[in-house]
Structures are given as C-alpha cells and as structure tokens.
C-alpha cells in the first residue's frame, strides 16, 4: 500500500532531515552523509526508502548519485509540503543550510 510506504518513509528523523536538505538543493550522498553524520551506505539506504515512497528521485553524474525532491504525484507533493512546513516551524532548515554550505561538493558533480 502506497500510503503506508510513504508514512513509514516519513516516520524517521534521519529521512526527515534528508528531505529538509533536498528542499534546499539537489545533493550527492557524500554531502548528505557529511551533514547528517552517518556513513554513505546508511544514507543511501534511507534515500532508497524515500525513492520507493515516490518523494525523491536521483540521477547518476559520473561517480555520484545526485538526489532531488521529486514527488511523483499530487498527493506526494501535498504530503511533502506539510513535512517541509513542519521542519521550517521547528527551525531545522537553518541548521541544515549552514551545515550544507560547509559540506558543499557540487564542484565534483555539477559539471559532469
């Protein structure tokens, strides 16, 4: 059931932070791992749950996978908007934005 998959994907603090990061800009796994403080394989597993839930997509850029918010339908878009609004209310986004500036690795994949 898609609703259950989406709600389970959102029922994890790490995945919520990943969505917050991706609301700022597309990111590679290495950037997100640095910001969140988990290994790249762990971050990749969390991202896979978000992809399966239809909230995030990715593209391969050389050796990098770049993820972005990409709700697959109107309901996913509405759900994502609510989540991002709640993250903003809890002041999580400014922290993530500052940490992402320090972890910026776009120079590695943007020109590919």
- 54-96 per-position pLDDT tens digit: 999 999 999 999 999 999 999 999 999 999 999 999 999 999 9
Report yes or no on 108 lying in a domain.
no
Report yes or no on 64 lying in a domain.
yes
Residue-range definition of the domain harbouring residue 14: 2-102
Rounded CA-CA distance 80/68 in Å is: 12
Report yes or no on 82 lying in a domain.
yes
Report yes or no on 89 lying in a domain.
yes
Report yes or no on 107 lying in a domain.
no
The whole model's pTM is what? 0.95
Buried b (16+ CB within 10 A) or exposed e, 70-90: bbeeeebeebbeebbeebeee
Total of domains in the chain = 1
Tell me the pLDDT band of 13, cut-offs 50, 70 and 90: very high
Report yes or no on 110 lying in a domain.
no
Tell me the pLDDT band of 111, cut-offs 50, 70 and 90: confident
Q: Is the pLDDT of residue 27 over 90?
A: yes
CATH number at residue 37: 1.10.10.10
């Amino acid at each position: 059931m898609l609703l259950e998959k989406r709600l389970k994907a959102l029922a994890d603090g790490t995945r919520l932070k990943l969505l917050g990061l991706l609301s700022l800009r597309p990111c590679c796994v290495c950037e997100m791992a640095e910001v969140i403080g988990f290994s790249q394989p762990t971050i990749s597993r969390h991202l896979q749950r978000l992809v399966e839930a239809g909230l995030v997509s990715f593209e391969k850029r050389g050796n990098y996978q770049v993820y972005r918010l990409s709700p697959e339908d109107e309901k996913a878009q509405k759900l994502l908007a609510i989540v991002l609004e709640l993250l903003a209310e809890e002041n999580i986004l400014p922290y993530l934005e500052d940490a992402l500036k320090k972890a910026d690795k776009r120079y590695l994949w943007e020109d590919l």
